[in-house]
Amino acid sequence: MTFGFAPSSAASLSATAACAHRVLEPAEWAAAGIPLLRNPREVVSGLHARHCPGPSTAVVAVLDHDERLCASASFTRRPAPADGWVFRNALLAQLRRVIPHDLRRRTPVRTAVLLYCREGDARWTEEDGAWMWGLRDACTLHGLRCGAYITLTRDGWQVLGEGRGGRRPSAGSAPEPVALSEAPPRIPRTGGVASEVLRRAAAR
C-alpha cells in the first residue's frame, strides 16, 4: 500500500499570496518616483515600428539620458498565471542579451521602459502590476533606472500611472515611420573594396 500527500488548501493559498506580493498597485507605482518620458508618443511609435508587437508581446527598451534608444528586445509571454518574479526573470534575460549591465555605477544613467501589448482596455490589471514589479526588480539587478510601463491595446497606448496616452499606434495598427530618437549609423571613411561593398548593400 502506498501513501501519498495531496497538496493542502493552505499550501495553495500561501502560493497565491506569495504571487500577490509580486504585484505593484497603481498607487505604489506612482509613489516610486518613475521618471516621466519627455515624448512618450515618439518612444511608443519607435518601438512599435521596430517590433510590431502582437497580443501578449513585451518590448523592453533601454534609453540614454536624451531618450535615445540604446537597445531593445521583444518576446512573447508564455500562457501562465501572472507572476512578477517570472516576468522579472524574463526581462532580465532579455536585458542581459542586448546590453551590458551598469552595476558598477553609483547611480543609474540609463533607463529601461516596458511596452506590453495585450487584449482588453487600458485600465490597470493584476497582470500589469506583475509586469511593473518585474520591471522594477530587473532594473535594480541590471543597474538601470526603472522607467515607464506602457500598455498597448486596440484602443491605443497608455502610460500607466501618468494618465498620458493616445490612439495611435494601437495593437494591430500598421507601423508608422520610425520616429524614436537615436544616433545615426556611422559611415566608414575608408575607401577601397570594403566601401564599395557597403555602398552596394545600402543601395539594395
Residue-wise pLDDT tens digits, 162-199: 889 999 999 988 887 654 444 443 334 444 444 444 34
Calpha distance 152→166 (Å, rounded):
10
Q: Mean of the per-residue pLDDT values for the chain?
A: 82
Whether the per-residue pLDDT at 51 is higher than 80: the answer is yes
DSSP for 119-178, written as a single string: SS-SS--HHHHHHHHHHHHHHHHHT-EEEEEEEEETTEEEETTTTEEESSS-TTPPPPPP
Calpha distance 182→95 (Å, rounded):
18
Q: Give which of 93, 91, 89, 49 is closest to 69, Cα–Cα.
A: 49
Contacts of 34 (CB under 8 A, 6+ apart): 146, 147, 148, 149, 161
pTM for the structure as a whole: 0.78
CA angle 18, 21, 23 (to 5 degrees): 125
For the chain, percent of residues with pLDDT exceeding 90: 64
Q: Which residue has the higher pLDDT, 108 or 198?
A: 108
Residue 148's identity, in one-letter code, is: A
Copy the grid coordinates of residue 171. 495593437
Residue-wise pLDDT tens digits, 86-104: 999 999 999 999 999 999 9
Residue-wise pLDDT tens digits, 14-47: 444 455 579 999 999 988 889 999 999 999 999 9
